[in-house]
Structures are given as C-alpha cells and as structure tokens.
Amino acid sequence: MTVIAYLGPAGTFTEQALHRFVGDLQMSDVRSLPLPSPAAAIDAVRSGEADFACVAIENSVDGPVTPTFDALSSGAGVNIYREVDLDISFGIMVRPGTKLEDISTLATHPVAHQQVKGWITRHIPQALFLPASSNAAAAVEVAEGRADAAAAPEPAAAMHGLELVAKRVADHRGARTRFALVGPKHQPPEPTGNDRTAIIFSLPNEPGSLVGALQEFAFRGVDMARIESRPTREKLGTYLFHVTLVGHIADSAVAEALRALYLRCKDLHFLGSWPAVPDDAASPRTTVDVSAADRWVHAARTGED
C-alpha cells in the first residue's frame, strides 16, 4: 500500500491534487493520510510514516506557499517528483438556514482569504475573518458552530452538512494553485524535454555573492522559473534562496551551472528534477546544449583534432 500524506481534513484542494497524482501515475492501493500542515506531511515522508506528501507550492494570486518552502528547507532527505495545477474557486458555505446578512464571522485558510477578499467586501463586509489551518478545516469550524461561514472547496459543504450560499467565488478568474508530490530522496524521473529543477542554497555574506551565483545560470542560458528568499532562522539578515530552474539535472547546461554554483555556496541542496506542467501562456524554453563545448575541451586536453 502507498501512503500519501496531505493537508487535511478531507475536502481540501490538496486532497483533490492528491487524487490527480494518483490518477496520472496510475497508482493502486493508495491510502491518504490527512495531517494538519504541509510541514507535518513532509515530515511524515522523512520519518517513513508516508511514502509521499502532496503539498501546495504556489498560487497565481498570493505567490509561494511559504509553509511548504520552510518545510522543504528544514531538513534533507526529500525530493519533488511531480507537479500538478488546479483551477481554484471557492464555495461560501453556512449551516442550514443561515443567510448572508446573518454572517458575522468567516473562516478560511489565509491564502484562500487573499483570493476572496473582494467578494467578502462586496457581499458580507460585516464578516470578521477567522484564519483556519486549511479550507476544509474552515468548513468543520462552521459545522461545529465556531464560525458562521467558510470559504472552502464546494464538495466540503456536502461532507459537513452545510449549504452553499455562493458558488465559484474567486476575485481573480483563472486563479490556479500548483501542487507538488514529494517523496524520499532518490534518482529523479527521466527527462521529458519539459522539466523543472529545484534547489535551495545559502551564500557567504559578501558583496556580489548573489549576483555571481545567478550569473552561473545566465552564462549557460539556464532560465529561472522562480526565485524566493526565506530567512535561515539562525541569524538576522541571513537567507536561504529557493530557485526553480527550467530544465533537468540531466541537461548538460543545468548540470554545469549547478556544478559551478556548488563552488560558490555555503550549502546547496538538490530538491529534484521532474516533469513540468505545460504553461500555455509561456513560449517553450530550452537550455543551451554545451556538449559541443565539452567535446572541444576534451580534444584540447587529449591533443585530438
């Protein structure tokens, strides 16, 4: 049996992403393990309690999901193996008989709150926001009487005996969230030609150290899909850099850039290479093939023509 941990309880968008992974990878005999946070899900993989963790990594409205980034930074031993994108909209759900004018508190996850604030202002401006550990947990808060309404995935209403007073709520139409399948450290999947590679690194506190590190990618034509900084939590003013690259570590340009980066870093952690979700809005991007340069260097070293 394959155990996949995720941000619970049942009914979250993360659970929907989990089912997408199961279907895409044609997994069988899978047990889902709901846990209270992305960190708990990733720690379950590190401890061996789960085979994989399904976690949100970024959304198109609020950017990176920082609890996931922090969880990936907090220890070695895991890699990302797959990603999936989901369209995101919310149902506003209440206990039966509750009307919009009766709502004085609304619970949802803080990331979700950023995606429905405009709707709240227009329709229930009197509602006080109550942060919840997940959107589905917000539905539980309503069902148990600790909040008047929740913004959550619409299926959560039926799961918890609630009524929907609004459907497909989203301040930004076409909002999407990207989820990753995280597993124990192992050899990455084979390159597909449309891949991502993620790393975390720290640098000496010296002038130009970050510019020099990033130039290693620029010199070799390696595109960065994302860069974020997070505090190390060790000393004020020290940071970890999370970078997602376009390409696979099997690509010669990516491998050479990472080799050069290693020589500049205090610490460098490889988080995996995996098939990327196709991005209809972006033109195809490829890394430079440096194999001809490698052959030239080999010939110069060996005296060949």
Peptide bond into 9 cis (omega under 30): yes
Q: How confident is the model at residue 63 (pLDDT cuts 50, 70, 90)?
A: confident
More confident residue, 305 or 29: 29
pLDDT tens track for 151-189: 999 999 999 999 999 999 999 888 899 999 999 999 999
Give the DSSP H or E segment for 97.
none
Least confident of 10-24, 63-77, 166-180: 63-77
Segment 30-57 mean pLDDT: 96
pLDDT at 120: 96
Beta bridge partners of 229: 241
Closest CA to 110 of 89, 130, 139: 130
Global pTM reads 0.85
Model confidence at 286: pLDDT above 70? no
Q: How confident is the model at residue 5 (pLDDT cuts 50, 70, 90)?
A: very high
Closest CA to 197 of 240, 252, 243: 243
pLDDT tens track for 261-270: 999 999 999 9
Question: Measured between alpha carbons, how far is 269 from 202 in angstroms, rounded to an integer?
Answer: 9
Q: How confident is the model at residue 283 (pLDDT cuts 50, 70, 90)?
A: very low
Place of tokens 């390696």: 222
Model confidence at 281: pLDDT above 50? no
Domains observed in the chain = 1-87+176-186 (3.40.190.10), 90-169 (3.40.190.10), 191-305 (3.30.70.260)
